[in-house]
Amino acid sequence: MIFALMVAAATCSADSATNLDFRFPIRVVNGQRVDLRYLFAHWHSGANAVTNSRWVLLTGSIVDDNPGGWVVDGKTESASGLGFHQKVLVLNPPRTEKQTLENLLGQQKQLDKRNASLESVANSLQNGNVPQTPKHHHNAAQQNVSPTSIPQMETNVSNRESAVQGQLGQVDKQLAAIPTMSSTNGTAYRVDFFVFYTGQSQSGMPTLDFGIPTQ
């Protein structure tokens, strides 16, 4: 049986889940359910290290995304520690995770913009100035704001800032769970996960299978 790592989770170390490399511990490859938690727990871990496995750690960047998979320029590292820098084709890549990252980065950008705007308003109020609003938003109450109303405005702005910062904290927490790297366009998805070495190739590139994450 090619999937020798279908081992009971009870034998695994709980620490394996703390490393970003060890995401998606259970997958389906070629119709077979594979539990990778034993491999994760014993990856380069001394006397009990797994040294013979067709699962390899792939790190690098996506250079092409096509219907057949991702072409990745990166490094493959085997359980024995042997590494190669090469271009590979990844079947069943984790596109959902990449899309999640892009959505979160979009949310972060909007929240940062909103937070900066609220900070500007808060600074103006602290100096006793009421921020100007566009003419079509003016009303009599805004045109005649009394000094005694400024503290209430400050409280409202502070509450809104706290809410936005809370949302930012949640977004940042989710972003921290996804590998990223800097690129010319800002933050980008970084390939950093385990894949199954199929022993086949396409267009001169080794074919690796990420599999389908499952429970």
pLDDT of residue 42: 87
Strands 83-91, 205-209: pairing kind: parallel
User: Residues 126, 131, 136, CA angle at the centre, nearest 5°?
Assistant: 165
Q: Is the pLDDT of residue 148 over 70?
A: no
194: closest CA among 66, 50, 10?
Answer: 50
Q: List pLDDT tens digits, range 97-138.
A: 999 999 999 999 999 999 999 998 988 888 877 766 555 444
Q: List pLDDT tens digits, range 150-197.
A: 888 888 999 999 999 999 999 999 999 999 999 998 999 999 999 999
42 CB-side CA count, 13 A: 17
Determine phi and psi for 111, rounding to 5 degrees.
-70, -40
pTM score of the predicted model: 0.79
Q: Could you tell me if 178 and 100 are in contact, meaning their C-beta atoms sit under 8 angstroms apart?
A: yes
Task: Work out the average pLDDT over 53-60.
Answer: 95
d(CA 89, CA 175): 26
pLDDT of residue 146: 58
d(CA 152, CA 145): 11
Q: Is the pLDDT of residue 147 over 70?
A: no
118: closest CA among 165, 166, 152, 150?
Answer: 165
Range with the lowest mean pLDDT among 28-32, 55-59, 115-119, 139-143? 139-143
What angle, rounded to 10 degrees, do the helices at 95-126 and 150-175 form?
160
pLDDT of residue 133: 56
